[in-house]
Amino acid sequence: KQEVTQIPAALSVPEGENLVLNCSFTDSAIYNLQWFRQDPGKGLTSLLLIQSSQREQTSGRLNASLDKSSGRSTLYIAASQPGDSATYLCAVRRTGGAGSYQLTFGKGTKLSVIP
């Protein structure tokens, strides 16, 4: 059974700092890994998708890496801003046939960026 762990559970940083969020998973047989952002009481916003054959993906100030063999992914946020304050969730999709879109999520890291 796939298990996803995110460390730390909460993180508080001053504005402008670069930071790294960690995600680990127990079963390396994944199809892809997706990072999401969730604001309080809201739905999930997709940030980055990394296919199992890829090592990293970048979008603006965000960079996500994937090391499938060690079961790890990191989300790097450059020059953090107060608007980045949210919970960040990591999710892995298992390998499977067509239509297999089940994601296994971690509990998230709650990020607070202090002005």
Partner 1 sequence: ETGVTQSPTHLIKTRGQQVTLRCSSQSGHNTVSWYQQALGQGPQFIFQYYREEENGRGNFPPRFSGLQFPNYSSELNVNALELDDSALYLCASSGGTGRPNTGELFFGEGSRLTVL
For strand 109-114 and strand 10-14, is the pairing parallel, antiparallel, or unpaired?
A: parallel
The single residue among 15, 107, 112, 114 that binds partner 1, judged by CB under 8 A, is: 107
The single residue among 41, 60, 83, 115 that binds partner 1, judged by CB under 8 A, is: 41
Binding-site size, partner 1 (CB under 8 A) = 26
Minimal distance, residue 76 CB to partner 1, in Å: 20
Binding mask 3-32 for partner 1 (x = CB under 8 A): -x--------------------------xx
Q: Is 93 in the site for partner 1 (CB under 8 A)?
A: yes
For strand 86-94 and strand 103-105, is the pairing parallel, antiparallel, or unpaired?
A: antiparallel
CA distance 38 to 44: 5
* Torsion-angle region of 75 (φ positive above 0: left; ψ -120 to 50: alpha; else: beta): beta
The single residue among 12, 18, 26, 45 that binds partner 1, judged by CB under 8 A, is: 45
Structure tokens at 8: 């730390």
Look up tokens 């002005």; give the residue: 115
Q: Is 101 in the site for partner 1 (CB under 8 A)?
A: yes
Residues at the site binding partner 1, with contacts judged by CB under 8 A? 4, 31-32, 34, 36, 41-46, 49, 51, 89, 91, 93, 99-108
